[in-house]
Structure 1
Amino acid sequence: MQRLVDLFRNKFFLVTVAFVVWMTFFDKNDLLSQYQYHQEVSNLKQERDFYKEQTTKVAKDLDELTTNPQKLEKFAREKYLMRKDNEDVFVIVKEKKD
């Protein structure tokens, strides 16, 4: 018991405990902030990977559209509702349910 009392009277031990408590809970870079930063970095990495995949996909589609006339025609018909002179295009729109 005396050793424990002596330990708490030791100024170096008290300063060390105060420093650890301060760095853990009260500092600008405390544990909660570090966890939030880690989560944000993780989310940003996921977004980066998603956008890299999308960029690759769009680049592949662009390459196909510039080299393949059938793909270009299909794209124009689907996205911009283009048609040939002798055909009709019917657009079916689904009703929104409230």
Structure 2
Amino acid sequence: MRRKIGTLIVFSYLCKTMQEKDKNTSNSAWVSRLMNKYTITLLIFLVWLAFFDRNSLVGKMQLRGKIATLKKEKAYYQNKIEEDNRKMKELLSNKDNLEKFAREQYLMKNKNEDIFVIVNK
């Protein structure tokens, strides 16, 4: 009986020791994997690509934002061009419209006319 208790104590001691070794070994295994020269090189390379390279991820995100802004401007100016073309066709198609435009925009008049500008406040 005494021998069984002694064996049990030794066995439990060895189990605890092995568990502590396994914990230390697993931690050191992770540390050794992270400190591997290839892993460090890969991490440095990824950081370089993400932040410092000419084609970095941060730069690409900024360019995407700029592209979106430029597309909005392009759509605005295309609509403006279409509207101006429509107005130009309207002015050139009818002489009365052209005369009205010249009188309103450039204050043109005939020789026997006076111009009165009324400004609404």
Q: Same fold (TM over 0.5)?
A: yes
Q: Which has the higher helix share?
A: 2
Matched residues in 2 for 1:89 and 1:3: separation? 93
Match of 1:56 in 2: 82
Question: TM-score, length-normalised on structure 2?
Answer: 0.66
Based on CA coordinates, which of the two structures has the bigger radius of gyration?
Answer: 2
Match of 1:80 in 2: 106
Task: Give % identity.
Answer: 38
Question: TM-score, length-normalised on structure 1?
Answer: 0.79
Shift of 1:76: 0.7
Matched residues in 1 for 2:53 and 2:110: separation? 68
Match of 2:32 in 1: 6
Alignment: residue pair count: 95
- Structure 2, unmatched stretches of 5+, are 1-26
Shift of 1:12: 2.6
Provide, for residues 18-74 of structure 1, a one-character-per-residue CA deviation record: whole Å limited to 9, x for no partner.
111111121112233222212221222122112111111111011101112221121
- Structure 1, unmatched stretches of 5+, are none
Tell which has more relative contact order, 1 or 2 (C-alpha 8 A, sep 6+): 1
Moved beyond 3 Å, runs of 4+ = 91-94
The counterpart of 1:22, out of the listed 31, 37, 48, is 48
